[in-house]
Amino acid sequence: MTDLLSLTRSDLTPEELVRSAGEVLARFDHRTQDSGNVAWLVRTSSGEFFVKSAGEEMPPIGAPVPVLDRPSRVHLLRTAVEIARGIDHPALARLRTVIEVPSGPVLVYDRAPGELVGVPSARRDDPDSSYRRFASAPPAVRLSVFDQLLEAHRALEVAGWVACDLYDGCLMVDLATGHLTLIDLDTYRRGPSTNDMGRMFGSSRFMAPEEFTKGAPLDARTTVYTLGRLLRHFGTGLTEDLEDFCGGSARAAVVERATQRERTVRQGSVGELAAEWTAARDAGAAP
């Protein structure tokens, strides 16, 4: 058996490497995701790991959506490594090692507890889906997840990162403990930038208006909008009506400001959003 944690380099392909390490519990490729990456859940003698690679080649014709070429995917994986090694926060997935193989880096993470909140659109009406179960979880659980989400992004902001392609498919939530793990932050950008794509990567349910307009600024206010959309979507139990927000009217007002289409109305930074959120929470808890 290959000990993944002892390696920094291998001549094996990612598939061979993972299969030599233990029992493959799941494999994720173009049939289950649209990034073009290939990843595995593997059980080894050292524990269970989530292993991610850029894949050996482009997905076959007929993949659901166009994807980046492999060199671009390799570049984004190196962004994920930079984030993981530069920021120590309990809500960020724990990167254990990076193994260099001929096709690029293989990232080995601890398996995160819980379930992925994001599900295929066909399953969003299923009451047994992780998506619906999180949206209907007790307010204390959802609010704890929101606290962790904001604090993690305040740490990311301090380190200079702007969110891109942040959506419910980045949230692993353990409903038993309320613990959040953020995954797949590969496309985050270092510092403010300009929309160079037109329609950016991401889920339109959570994307800021500027993420659809080529040449528009992408900065902390963009991150604020997406965070606000996540809080609004799940905090209202999917109704989007802030009268239903699970955190009370003061925190609902913070979310309302964050999700304004006009950029200048939103909080100017994640730090400002988090501070308003905390002040509203504390005001609500006061006798």
**Strand-strand pairing, 193-194 and 217-218:** antiparallel
Does residue 75 carry a pLDDT above 60? yes
Tokens 């942040």: give the residue. 166
Does residue 217 carry a pLDDT above 50? yes
Does residue 1 carry a pLDDT above 90? no
pLDDT value, residue 283:
84
- More confident: 30 or 151: 151
**Strand-strand pairing, 189-190 and 161-162:** antiparallel
pLDDT-wise least confident of 23-37, 57-71, 101-115, 164-178: 57-71
Integer-rounded Cα radius of gyration of the chain: 19
Q: What is the arithmetic mean of pLDDT over 226-236? A: 98
> How many Å apart are CA 93 and CA 91, to the nearest integer?
7
Residue 163 is given by DSSP the state -
Does residue 43 carry a pLDDT above 50? yes
**Could you tell me the two tokens for 174?**
């353990």
The candidate with the shortest Cα–Cα distance to 108, out of 232, 8, 196, 251, is 8
pLDDT value, residue 196:
93
Q: E-strand spans in 92-135?
A: 95-101, 104-110, 115-116
pLDDT digits (tens, 9 = 90+) for 117-145: 999 999 999 999 999 999 999 999 999 99
Q: What is the arithmetic mean of pLDDT over 209-219? A: 97
Average pLDDT, the chain: 93
**Could you tell me the two tokens for 103?**
């096709």
Rounded to 5 degrees, φ, ψ at 35 are -80, -25
> How many Å apart are CA 264 and CA 282, to the nearest integer?
26
Go through the domains of the chain in sequence order and give each one's CATH number.
4-110 (3.30.200.20), 115-285 (1.10.510.10)
